[in-house]
Structure 1
Amino acid sequence: MLITGAELPDGRVRDVRTDEGRIAEIEGSLHSLPDEETVDADGLTLLPGAIDAHVHFRQPGHGHKETWATGSRSAAAGGVTTVVDQPNTSPPTVDGDAFDEKAEFADNAAVNYGINGGVNHEWAPESLLARPVFALGEVFLADSTGEMGIDEDLFEDALAAAADAGIPVTVHAEDADLFDESVYGADAGGVGREADADLWSQYRTAEAEIAAVEAACEGARGAGVEIHVAHTSTPEAADHAADAGMTTEVTPHHLLLSREDLDELGTFGRMNPPLRSEARREELYERVADGTVDLIATDHAPHTTAEKEAGLWDAPSGVPGVETMLPLLLAEVRAAGLTLERVRDLVAANPAERFGLPEKGRVEVGYDADLTLVDLDDAEPIRADSLHTKCDWTPFEGREAVFPELTIVDGEIVYDGRAGDRFTVGLGRNVRE
């Protein structure tokens, strides 16, 4: 494939040739070869495909919320070329058989993928870690998903097992002992968008996250390993992890939304950890911009509208986001909040480096041809009915975004927005194999 006239993140305009799934040449001008597919990228920016290190594609067990087919198409339409699925499915991915079952669903993926192994009191590390597991995690240091919550001893066992296997550990850090039980069960004044969802933010306190991050980092240092802290929602937690030499991710919803948005979102804004104050959000944004935070990942956690319209204390936690992550960040580039190079690092170069994917994350010769083309001058509002996830709502309805025109995985076009949203599915592969 020959991509002509593309602007790279550093501002250079170049032709880019791919061959056998890799970037083969980058030059000012390249001549097309016989029978070579050519993509005219005049006026477009060529970025490395995003790596979303935190998604919940729900299969097996909850395919009514999302499937590997729908979730991966949504990823491709958002410029994401690699996703990492989390283990809290049904059955949870805590042994070899459960891993194999999930891997069969992943055969339908339109993008490359990793499958994380889970840790609970029934996990079987011998059979689980004999599979091509991407990482352990997210390891829940709270009651976020009931049966997936673990104690300190099991956390230490997980750290040791991951160190022996040579794979990373991602943690969900909240200390349930610091939740404000006096708030739990309070009258939220309605359901759905009418509920006072700020009660959820009051219940799952910022202090619960900060303390858990501190404890997790201390435990990791004691074991001589590094951890990755998922969906950091407070600047204090991001600072502590950075000071401890650990890495962190921030979600688009914690980056761009705050408790001030909950009047409109209601239960659709319930997630774990919850939205924080506007002041904390602004400080967290600063950490993302200045490099304290290592990467952006979505925690894509789709639920049906009917499920989210339950009362505040019954509605499930989580929001969709795999298709809107990169488009929202590109809108931040247009607004001069982030540089294009910083966005590239947050969603591609840094996750590739952190999770041991040395051939991904950059538009350079020899790297995997996982790419996306965008028109930075073509912004549009996000509309749920135009997205490709099975989830029919988004917390970002109406927000400005820059959606990709084309997404390429291993040198093959998997999404073509210029051809009426045409997808090619089933090309994805496990990046650990």
Structure 2
Amino acid sequence: MLIGNATLPDGRRRDVRIEDETVVEVGKNLGDADIDATGKRLFPGAIDVHVHFRQPGFAHKETWETGSKSAAAGGVTTVVDQPNTDPPTVTGDAFDEKAALADASLVDYGINGGVTPDWDPDSLFSRRLFALGEVFLADSTGDMGIDAERFADAVERAGREDVSVTVHAEDATLFTEATKDRDDADAWSAYRTAEAEAAAVERAVEVGADAAADLHIAHTSTPEGIDAASDAGVTCEVTPHHLFLSRDDLPDLGTFGRMNPPLRSEQRREAVYDRVADGTVDVIATDHAPHTREEKDASIWNAPSGVPGVETMLPLLLEEARQGRFSYERVRDLTAANPAEIFDLPNKGRIEAGRDADLVLFDPDDAHEIQGDDLHSKCGWTPFEGRQGVFPELTLVRGEVVYDTRDGEAFGEGVGENVRA
């Protein structure tokens, strides 16, 4: 396949030649194009390092097929799935069960293992867990997940095994119990305080430094948490919902705006946005966590936490670039180049000879309103209803077309592979 006269993220117009699964040449006047990309932009496929595709155990919320279709339609060509399924991905057997289900994926994937409160760092169980590649640690302190001692043990083991550790950092001891008397939509944000995140990030990076471990802080929602990670030289991610939504949106979102960490004040959201724009934040990742409408339509204390986002991440960021608020290169770095570097995916993240042909083609001027009914996640709703997004017209995974709207919407076959195979 030859894609002709495409505008790359840095503004260069180039032809891109693909053979088998790989980009083999990027240059000018390479021949007769199979796809004329004049006036279009060509991006490396986005890498979403934080999704919950819900299988096994919760297929009524999402499946690998529906989640990966949503990813492909949003220009995401690689995802990293987190371990809180049923069974949780904390053993080799559980990993194998999830990997079998992931065969249905249209996009490439990684599967994170998790550490539980009864984890033994010296057991066969532990060695199998760390063989999975990345490890997700749910909460660095407090009673929400593993305790501080177990966290330190796991990080120390990760440092010895040279694997990446993704950390959900909230200190449950700093949650505000008094807010449990409230039933308004903002009560969840008042309960899980901004201070709880900052304190947990500070503790996590301290433990990581002692263990010489490679930490990555998940879904930072506060400028304080971002700064604590950045000051320590630790990478972090921000979700689209923490980038674009705040507590000011909760009167409209209601319990559909409950997630962990929760939405923050508009002032903090603006400070987070500034840190994304100026390069302090390394990655945008979605924490795609779909639930059904019926599940979310409950009280603020009973509704499950989480929102979908894998299909709208790149379109929302491309709209920011279209409006001149981000550069296209910054969007590329946040969604592709930086995740590939941080999570050691040398074949992904850029449009260069020798890299995987994970490519996304879009018309930069073709923005339209986001509507949940048009999206492909099984949950069928979005917290970004009514906002503008620039969606792909073509998505390729290692040279295979997995999503195409040029002659009516069509999906390709499930060609996804485990990036840690």
TM-score (norm 2): 0.96
Q: Deviations over 1:27-71 (max 9, x none)?
A: 111124xxxx82221211000000000000000000000000000
* 1:129 and 2:130 aligned: yes
- Flag structure 2 segments of 5+ consecutive residues without an equivalent: 120-124
1:209–1:386 distance in 2 versus 1, CA, 3 Å: same
Q: SS of the counterpart of 2:104? A: coil
Q: Is the 8 A contact 1:7 1:13 kept in 2?
A: yes
Q: 2:82 aligns to what?
A: 86
Q: 1:204 and 1:354 mapped to 2: Cα distance?
A: 28
Q: Which residue of 2 aligns with 1:247?
A: 235
User: How many equivalent residue pairs?
Assistant: 416
Partner amino acid, structure 2, of 1:222:
D
Partner residue, 1:31:
31
Structure 2 counterpart of 1:287:
275
Residue 258 of structure 2, aligned match among 265, 270, 282: 270
The DSSP-based 3-state class of the residue aligned with 2:66 is helix
Report the Cα distance in structure 2 between the residues aligned to 1:360 and 1:275, rounded to whole angstroms. Answer: 31
State the shift of 1:129 in Å: 3.1
Matched, 1:173 2:169: yes
CA drift of 1:419 comes to: 3.0
Deviations 1:351-406 (A, max 9, x none): 00000011211111111110100111000000101001101110000000000000
Q: Distance in 2 between matches of 1:73 and 1:276?
A: 30
Maintained 8 Å contact 2:141/2:172: yes
Match of 1:156? 152
Structure 1 gaps, min length 5: 189-195
Partner of 1:192: none
The secondary structure found in structure 2 opposite 1:292 is: coil
Residue of structure 2 in register with 1:382 after alignment = 370
CA contact (8 A) 1:138 1:230 kept: no
User: 1:287-313 deviations in whole A, cap 9, x for unaligned?
Assistant: 001111001000000000000001110
Alignment partners' CA distance in 1, 2:290 and 2:338 = 25
Separation in structure 2 between the aligned mates of residue 336 and residue 89 of structure 1, nearest angstrom:
39
Three-state SS of the structure 2 residue aligned to 1:63 is coil
3-state secondary structure, aligned to 1:107: helix
Question: Mean alpha-carbon deviation: is it higher for 22-31 or for 103-112?
Answer: 22-31
Aligned-partner SS, 1:218 = helix
Give the secondary structure class of the aligned counterpart of 2:72: helix
Pairing 1:201–2:189 present: yes
1-side partners of 2:17 and 2:53: how far apart? 32
Structure 1 counterpart of 2:122: none
Structure-2 residue corresponding to 1:222? 210
Question: Partners of 1:269 and 1:58 in 2: how far apart?
Answer: 19
State the identity %.
Answer: 63
Counterparts of 2:371 and 2:133, CA distance in 1: 33
Query: Aligned partner of 1:156: which letter?
Result: A
Task: Tell me the residue number matched to 1:5.
Answer: 5
Is 2:361 the counterpart of 1:368?
no
Counterpart CA distance in 2 for 1:138 and 1:78 is: 28
Partner of 1:193: none
Determine the C-alpha separation between the residues in 1 that align with 2:35 and 2:381: 33
Residue type matched to 1:360 in 2? K
Q: Is the 8 A contact 2:159 2:214 kept in 1?
A: no
On the 8 A contact 1:69/1:425 being kept in 2, the answer is: no
Rounded Cα–Cα distance in structure 2 between residues aligned with 1:12 and 1:126: 46
The AA in structure 2 aligned to 1:175 is: D
